[in-house]
A and B are shown apart, each in its own frame.
Chain A
Amino acid sequence: MIKAVINVDSPPPHVFNVLTDFSRYKEWIPGCQQCTVTSRSGNVTDADIIISSMKRIELALRFEAIPPNVLNFRMTRGKDIKAYSGTYRLMNAADGNGTVVIAELEIDAGFMVPKFMVDKISRKMMDDTGSALRKHIATLTIPTAIARASAQKAPEAKPRRARRILRIVKMPAGYNVWLLGQTFTIKSQGS
């Protein structure tokens, strides 16, 4: 399983809408030549996809959306690879600006292709998809309702414990200096 983190400068509901707009995948996913939705039932969508990168791959994917922040997918049919599955998980960015997407991808290309090579290709695919997602979203207008709702969510201020930096204490024999976790003793002259 290869994981990647994608920072997107757009609120999670908008990113989720883009990721679940399967019919527009070929507009932005690198190498996606075709994405045809074949059936839809509730949050489950089946689609036929053709990806052309190092080789042309035809597969049927089943997407299972768990609104508002998870999208799972797995291969249901395909001759070119043995298995293809993954997840997009969306989280609010801690600084209040946009979305952090954790993407997971697992490809089983069969015994003919070494795993390290599959992992390397998977990693590149995810990095390229992340860049493409950022670029694609930058070209879209965020729906007003989503923009308004996300603008109201300010990041919570984090309460902090008091943290000592420096302390100097005068002792009978001199000074005790505590600085960032280390203690130093300065003896008075003649003591």
Chain B
Amino acid sequence: MGFLTKQSAVLLPCDPGLLYEVLTDYDSYAEWMPFVARSKLLARERDLALAEFELLHPAKDVFVVECIHTKNKMVLWRAIRGRIPLSEAQWDIEPAEGGQVRVRLTFQTNLNWGLLRPAYSRFLKTAPCLNALRMQISAFLPELAPEEGEKILEIAETSEGTICWMLGKKYILTPAP
């Protein structure tokens, strides 16, 4: 079987540790990765993990990947189960100039009819994934927001729960019953 390789890279203003943490947080991919409806860590043991992803389209389409981690350097997925023609996905993290990191995403896809399905070909684009990753990373970087103004409102998820700062006062939000 043949393979098709797609690759993109982006510079991000964060430390490799944060990037690695986001990329190995398999319960949270649905928050940021395009066309992912649900994601779940199935199991983790040292540098190996198993994760399950459900796509938005086609609905209920699930695939499972085994994930091999090299801390702060690389996250490699190998597809084990699912119809999506993804063979491997590799996220390479390397330090770049100015305290930034360069993250390179490579998709290796199986050359089969599945690639002709619009839902799969949309998902298997590297540049939109990296753009979404950039936005997700910025959510953990308070310094990206302008500091010269007056903060009116901020909502954040923290270990305390969902916190709201409004006009200098802090509120802890609780879900409605």
A positions within 8 Å CB-CB of B: 3-5, 7, 91-94, 100, 102, 158-172, 175-176, 178, 180-182
A180/B139 in contact, CB under 8 A: yes
> Which single residue of chain A is at the shortest CB-CB distance from B22?
A161
- Range class of the B interface residue count: 35 or more
A131, chain B: closest CB distance, angstroms: 14
Per DSSP, chain B at the interface is strand
Q: Which residues of A have CB within 8 Å of B152? A: 168-170, 175
Residues A159 and B146 in contact, CB atoms below 8 Å apart: no
List 8 A-B pairs, Cβ < 8 Å.
Answer: A161-B21, A163-B156, A164-B142, A165-B162, A168-B154, A169-B149, A170-B149, A181-B135
B residues less than 8 Å from A5 (CB atoms): 42, 50, 64, 80-81
Contact of A168 with B135 at beta-carbon distance under 8 Å, contacts A5-B80, A91-B43, A160-B159 already known: no
**Dominant SS among interface residues on chain A:** strand
A74 CB → nearest B CB, Å: 21
Closest A residue to B162 by CB, please name it. A165
Q: With A and B bound together, what is the CA distance between A15 and B114 in angstroms?
A: 35
Q: Are B135 and A180 in contact (CB under 8 A)?
A: yes
Q: Assess the B145–A176 pair: CB atoms within 8 A.
A: yes
Please name all residues of chain A whose beta carbon is closer than 8 Å to the beta carbon of B159 when the two chains form the complex.
159-160, 162
Which 6 A-B pairs have CB atoms at the shortest separation, nearest pair first? A181-B135, A91-B43, A169-B149, A100-B43, A171-B149, A162-B158
Give the CA-CA distance A167 to B148 in the complex, in Å.
14
Residues of B close to A170: CB separation below 8 A: 149-152
Report the nearest B residue to A5, measured CB to CB.
B64
Decide if A176 touches B146 in the complex (CB within 8 Å): yes
Task: Please give, as numbers and ranges, the residues of chain B lying within 8 Å of A159 by CB-CB distance.
Answer: 159
Q: Which residues of A contact B81 (CB under 8 A)?
A: 3-5
Q: How far is the CA of A168 from the CA of B164 in the complex (A)?
A: 11
Of the residues B32, B41, B44, B155, contact of A165 by C-beta under 8 Å: B155
A165/B43 in contact, CB under 8 A: no
- Asked if A102 and B50 sit within 8 Å, CB to CB, the answer is yes
